[in-house]
Amino acid sequence: MLNRVTSLLEDEAAVLALLESLALAAGREIMRHREAGVHVEHKADASPVTAADREAERVILSGLRTELAGVACVSEEEASDGLLRACEEEDFFLVDPLDGTREFIAGRPDFTVNIALIRRGIPRIGVVYAPAHALLYSGRPGVASEVRVEGQSALARRAISTRPGRTPPTIVASRSHSTPETAGFIARYPDAETVSVGSSLKFCIIARGDADLYPRFGRTMQWDTAAGDAVLRAAGGHTRTLEGAPLTYGVQAGGELATFANPFFIAEGWAA
């Protein structure tokens, strides 16, 4: 079993295909719950959670733990339920089964399924699926795609890439988590077009060449960003801390939830 898992992990095209399949399956469950009506609960930190979050997570983790048994998985709802663990392995998965829960609850379409493989701190492979938009974004080194989905099955696929930096830039920003620091950053570009988008779609809009910058001066967790970051990097962009270092992923020994929090960062479309 170990040899099979190791072999599959080294086949990045096969891992990407698995993540795409699991994201589509999770998306089906999310849309089923959306059509049936959304019942909202609240976690210990007062953030909302729904049955769709939990069912999507079950689908994804079951698939990963069956096909890639022994590879660590860090997922938002398990973490919220106290099942977070230290994750010092070179390879592990970060999962946000329903990113943009507030968008989902409000009936807006900007929610996504996020799955990423982290390798030595870098988001190596990632899938972002937006079921209400019928769009899936996927990336592995040198290969980034936008996939049209119909009936929750992947159809037309096209390669995507970031665009050269523009003056003024197009900036994407969080719809639900604006901060004074974000406003200050945007003010540096008085002629910039600003687009408000929910969930990890902000990374994908840059990856497909429709925007240039995504500044995030607010709290995010690694499962919020890893998949979109992987797609962006595959498309030619990068994500850096305010000090200019590449955004990295992983947790120190001890496994406390806070260690999975990201620093502030800026995602950019042009090459480093």
For the annotated binding site for substrate, the residues are 76, 98-101, 224
CA distance 272 to 255: 32
What percentage of the chain's residues is helix, strand, coil (to nearest 5)? 35, 30, 35
Residue stretches of the annotated binding site for Mg(2+)? 76, 96, 98-99, 224
Query: At a CB cut-off of 8 Å and minimum separation 6, what does 208 contact?
Result: 137, 146, 160, 161, 235
Q: Which residues are annotated as a binding site?
A: 76, 96, 98-101, 224
- Per the CB < 8 A criterion, the answer to whether 69 and 93 are in contact is no
Side chain identity, residue 122: I
Sequential DSSP letters for 45-58: TS-EEEHHHHHHHH
